[in-house]
Structure 1
Amino acid sequence: MNKSDILKITEAYGLAPNKKFGQNFLINDSVIQKIVDSCLPDGQRVLEIGPGLGSISIPLADRALSYTAVEIDSGFVRYLAETFGPTGKLELIHDDFLKSEIEDRFDVIVSNLPYYCASEILFRIAKNFKAERILVMMQKEMADRVIAKAGSETYGALTVTLSYYFESKILFNIAGESFYPKPDVKSSFLQMLRKPRFFTLPEHEEMFHLIVKSVFWGRRKTLLKSLTDSPHLEMKRDVVENILQNCGIRPDVRGEKLSLEEFIKLTEGVINNR
């Protein structure tokens, strides 16, 4: 699908890329093929979030065991239903993924993430779906945050939260010229492989998330101050000091220096203190 194809389709259906939904369409066939090959869809149950005009949908659906696409934009739903519906290869759901009640039955989830809600989509996938492989396109700046190392400028709550659920790596970067309209930023295609969850009880996992929020809400603050002053936790200073001492974590360290393993250890310390 090239720029000319997209202009013809959008004109015929009275469509236009919607900035509200962060819509940019792939027009580079070699990149499309690279994405399809990276997804390894053969014999897999695949969910695509935000198929748009379906540039990767049919190539993936041709190889997948089953293929479901959820699209929020009614104009694109109409185009996809009329174009690909008769093939019987695509199950199309007209809904907002963040509010949908989609059944958790997929092996692979694929998406060109809209910039305005990319983190919310990833968090929902992480917490509510069991798919082993997640393959997503996103702004390179965000991809760098996802794979950041402790102590780096880009390391933060997003990094720690997603690294709890996934092993992530950038497979390749995509230039702006591969999209229409051309975005102002570079994109990356990211692979995220599911990890076993450390905490088995929901309330313990929720405590982990509260601690991550607490540590990073006061970025550049010491760990002791962040946890003591956190709006997400209610812990007195002496309690926090005792927990940090038992965990072998210095109270004057800053949150962005902590590894995932240290966040888990800190969570265990808080749980054991209650």
Structure 2
Amino acid sequence: MQTIKAKKAFGQNFLVDTTITTQIIQAMPKDDNLIVEIGPGLGDLTKYLVQQGPVIAFEVDRELCTHLTTAFKQPLSTKQLTLRCGDVLEAWSQEGTQKSLVDAPYNLVANLPYYIATTIILRALSDPQCRSLLVMVQKEVADKFSAQAGDKEFSALAVLTQTVGEAKSVLLVPPSAFNPPPKIDSAVLKITKHSSLEDEAFSHFLRIAFAQPRKTLAKNLSQHYPKESVLSILEALHLSQTVRPHETTTQQFHQLYFQLKGALYGREQQQQRKQPAQT
């Protein structure tokens, strides 16, 4: 049998520690949702997932698709496993806009390549059919998504996650659990959703708020919004002018966003009233 080697181009590190695999299965939600696996690799996790329920697996590596087609003939024939060969990000997109990955409620399980992990997680958070995520990622990425206000890792990613659900790292995974072993530690991140990201304008607002994390929130926001409005709203929310982005809670970010949006709308209306009537 030909040995399949991990490809650097796809950021592949195959999970080979069965103890970790078992713990991932145990951390899965206990429901009847469809299971979506991104990057099944050699199928070491897939063979356990198909025992939990119907699985749709997305694999971009054609060589691995061929291997999986042979290794999973039986579950493929019974439709317990559906294999889709191609880029999952393309499957998510249609004419430049995001669509649901599948047409049914699903739980996402994945050993994500580190270079694309954040992008995939954000896509899943925006997908209304995705109910939960259980993903292997770089520990640093897991920390950013699961951080709490006041943590130095707290960022726009954590605010977006807390907007739609709850996140926590459920398992730390050493490099020795993979072949080849990566140079960094990994973690299994679990996100349970209660809604989906819908407001792109709020995401844009957060990018502004966290643009320079070491600077004050007032400084960052004042680069794009009227300074007097920013300072007035901070005072109304009992936030110091020296507060930094990572010290601000998700609820406070939502309050800031809606009040700033309201202030800007009011300013526009006022300017329109001042304009002379057209004759």
The secondary structure found in structure 2 opposite 1:171 is strand
The secondary structure found in structure 2 opposite 1:132 is strand
> Match of 1:256?
246
Question: How does 1:90-109 map onto structure 2 within 5 Å?
Answer: 90-101=81-92, 102-109=101-108
**Aligned amino acid, residue 84 of structure 2:** I
1:148 CA drift (Å):
1.6
Residue by residue over 1:199-229, the C-alpha shift from the partner in whole angstroms, topping out at 9 and shown as x without a partner, is 8xx4xx2232122101111221122210121
Q: Is the 2:60–2:88 Cα contact (8 Å) retained in structure 1?
A: yes
> Match of 2:235?
245
> Match of 1:56?
45
Distance 1:151 1:103, change over 3 A: same
Distance 2:75 2:15 in 1: 22
1:250 CA drift (Å):
2.6
Distance 1:241 1:42 in 2: 47
1:40 CA drift (Å):
4.2
Aligned length: 253
> Match of 1:163?
162
Q: Is the 2:128–2:195 Cα contact (8 Å) retained in structure 1?
A: no
TM-score by length of 2: 0.84
Distance 2:165 2:8 in 1: 29
Alpha carbon RMSD of aligned pairs, Å? 1.9
Residue by residue over 1:60-112, the C-alpha shift from the partner in whole angstroms, topping out at 9 and shown as x without a partner, is 11221x21001111111111112214433210111211221432423311011
Are 1:221 and 2:221 matched, yes or no?
A: no
1:189 CA drift (Å):
1.2
**Aligned amino acid, residue 158 of structure 1:** L
**Aligned amino acid, residue 136 of structure 1:** V
Residue by residue over 1:227-267, the C-alpha shift from the partner in whole angstroms, topping out at 9 and shown as x without a partner, is 1214xxxx222232233333333332111110111111111
Distance 2:7 2:119 in 1: 19
Question: How does 1:181-220 map onto structure 2 within 5 Å?
Answer: 181-196=180-195, 202=198, 205-220=199-214
> Match of 2:70?
82
Q: Is the 2:160–2:203 Cα contact (8 Å) retained in structure 1?
A: yes
The secondary structure found in structure 2 opposite 1:115 is coil
Q: Is the 1:223–1:255 Cα contact (8 Å) retained in structure 2?
A: yes
Q: Is the 2:150–2:246 Cα contact (8 Å) retained in structure 1?
A: yes
Structure 2 residues without counterparts, runs of 5 or longer: 93-100, 266-279
Distance 1:171 1:80 in 2: 28
Q: Is the 2:202–2:257 Cα contact (8 Å) retained in structure 1?
A: yes
The secondary structure found in structure 2 opposite 1:59 is helix
**Aligned amino acid, residue 225 of structure 1:** K
Distance 1:33 1:185 in 2: 22
| Identical pairs, percent | 29
> Match of 1:147?
146
Distance 2:188 2:250 in 1: 23
**Aligned amino acid, residue 217 of structure 1:** A
Bigger radius of gyration among the two:
2
1:181 CA drift (Å):
0.4
Structure 1 residues without counterparts, runs of 5 or longer: 1-7
Are 1:27 and 2:13 matched, yes or no?
A: no
TM-score by length of 1: 0.85
The secondary structure found in structure 2 opposite 1:108 is strand
> Match of 1:47?
36
> Match of 2:95?
none
The secondary structure found in structure 2 opposite 1:153 is coil
Q: Is the 1:246–1:269 Cα contact (8 Å) retained in structure 2?
A: no
Residue by residue over 1:105-127, the C-alpha shift from the partner in whole angstroms, topping out at 9 and shown as x without a partner, is 23311011110011100000001
Distance 2:169 2:155 in 1: 18
The secondary structure found in structure 1 opposite 2:188 is strand
Are 1:271 and 2:261 matched, yes or no?
A: yes
